[in-house]
């Protein structure tokens, strides 16, 4: 067994096809098949189920590939570490950020970070949490900024800040309260994000929603908080916003906000263990924390809402 064989197996897992993997690795399909078979014979288990149109890891194979990914990543750390010896804060960071954070958080930390560290290069992808986790595991991303807490094998979590929840209402059918307990929230005409977004799951949690019918005549499926705000402005009703979103509202829209007490959303940075880029993560996280309003760095004894991320790899 060697690192090259492990990389072959990880590429096959990622692409799901011997033909695609062989092309990506610049080798023939028979040669790749032989390498994978030799690896399976040596370890005594079948890594892949070849009976499907897309090749998928077996249950034992997935466990092996998780560990293989850690080993291959550890080998790459040596190169990453060597690059940092000459210039401590140069290199590239590939990050994933969930859609309910990206348009509001990235503009806050981007210029301060790159202004202080001009040799640092950032590649940012707006993705759902599960996509970010999968790409981190496969090595396509270095880290991600998501709603935490979460538990996932091989993943480390660093809490960054905490967002309050706000009800955003149409002033014509809204209430005059500036703060409101969640238990007193009227759920009629509540606009929600599309299924699969962890912020929707959090809203469902804090509002104790039992089903998808919240009283609206229109079934509106979207993944953009800005779209929900516009729907409230033009169609009435209300939606729930995380705190960073409210910083981009105009003075007229700010009058439509009602703070929901008691609960907060935790935002954290996630990455694989021992990537070799920990020094870059540290400066990134420091810039993110310093870019948000100071009160958001402390949850102040409030309950953190569970983002509903499963604890095992899919």
CA distance 207 to 187: 8
Residue ranges of domains in the chain, CATH in brackets: 3-75 (1.10.10.10), 89-161+266-304 (3.40.190.10), 163-264 (3.40.190.10)
For residue 257, the surrounding DSSP H or E stretch is strand 257-272
CA distance 31 to 103: 45
- DSSP letters spanning 46-103: --EETTSSS-EE-HHHHHHHHHHHHHHHHHHHHHHHHHHHH-TT-EEEEEEE-TTTHH
pLDDT at 148: 92
From residue 298, alpha-carbon distances to 147, 160, 170, 195 in Å are 15, 9, 30, 29
Tens-binned pLDDT, residue by residue, of the chain (314 aa): 888 899 999 999 999 999 999 999 999 999 999 999 999 999 999 999 988 889 999 999 999 998 888 888 777 766 666 655 555 666 789 999 999 999 999 999 999 999 988 888 999 999 999 999 989 988 889 999 999 999 887 889 999 999 999 988 887 655 667 787 766 766 677 888 776 677 777 777 767 655 444 555 555 667 788 888 998 888 888 888 999 999 999 998 998 998 988 889 999 999 987 777 888 898 999 999 999 999 999 988 888 988 877 665 44
For residue 108, the surrounding DSSP H or E stretch is helix 102-116
pLDDT at 213: 47
Evaluate whether 132 touches 124 at the Cβ level (below 8 Å): no
Q: Is the pTM of this model over 0.75?
A: no
pLDDT at 313: 45
pLDDT at 84: 57
pLDDT at 314: 42
pLDDT at 174: 57
pLDDT at 31: 92
pLDDT at 308: 77
């Amino acid at each position: 067994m060697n690192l090259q064989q492990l990389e072959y197996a990880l590429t096959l897992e990622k692409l799901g096809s011997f033909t695609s993997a062989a092309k990506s690795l610049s080798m023939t399909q028979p040669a790749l098949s032989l390498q994978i078979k030799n690896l399976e014979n040596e370890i005594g288990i079948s890594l892949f189920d070849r009976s499907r149109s897309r090749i998928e890891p077996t249950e034992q194979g997935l466990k092996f590939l998780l560990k293989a990914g850690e080993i291959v990543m550890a080998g790459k750390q040596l190169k990453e570490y060597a690059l940092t010896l000459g210039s401590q804060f140069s290199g590239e960071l590939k990050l994933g950020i969930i859609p309910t954070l990206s348009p509001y958080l990235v503009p806050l930390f981007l210029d301060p970070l790159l202004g202080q560290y001009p040799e640092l290069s950032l590649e940012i992808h707006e993705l759902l949490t599960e996509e970010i986790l999968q790409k981190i595991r496969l090595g396509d991303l270095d880290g991600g900024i998501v709603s935490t807490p979460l538990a996932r094998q091989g993943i480390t979590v660093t809490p960054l800040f905490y967002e309050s929840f706000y009800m955003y209402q149409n002033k014509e059918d809204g209430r005059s309260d500036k703060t409101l307990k969640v238990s007193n929230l009227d759920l009629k005409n509540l606009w929600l994000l599309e299924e699969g977004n962890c912020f929707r799951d959090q809203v469902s949690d804090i509002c104790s929603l039992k089903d998808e019918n919240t009283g609206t005549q229109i079934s509106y499926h979207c993944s953009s908080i800005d779209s929900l705000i516009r729907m409230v402005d033009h169609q009435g009703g209300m939606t729930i916003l995380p705190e960073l979103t409210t910083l981009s509202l105009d003075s007229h829209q700010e009058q439509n906000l009602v703070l929901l007490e008691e609960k907060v959303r935790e935002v954290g940075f996630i990455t694989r263990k021992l990537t070799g880029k920990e020094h870059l993560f540290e400066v990134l996280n420091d810039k993110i924390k310093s870019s948000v309003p100071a009160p958001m760095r402390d949850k102040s004894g409030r309950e953190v809402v569970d983002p509903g991320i499963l604890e095992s790899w899919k």
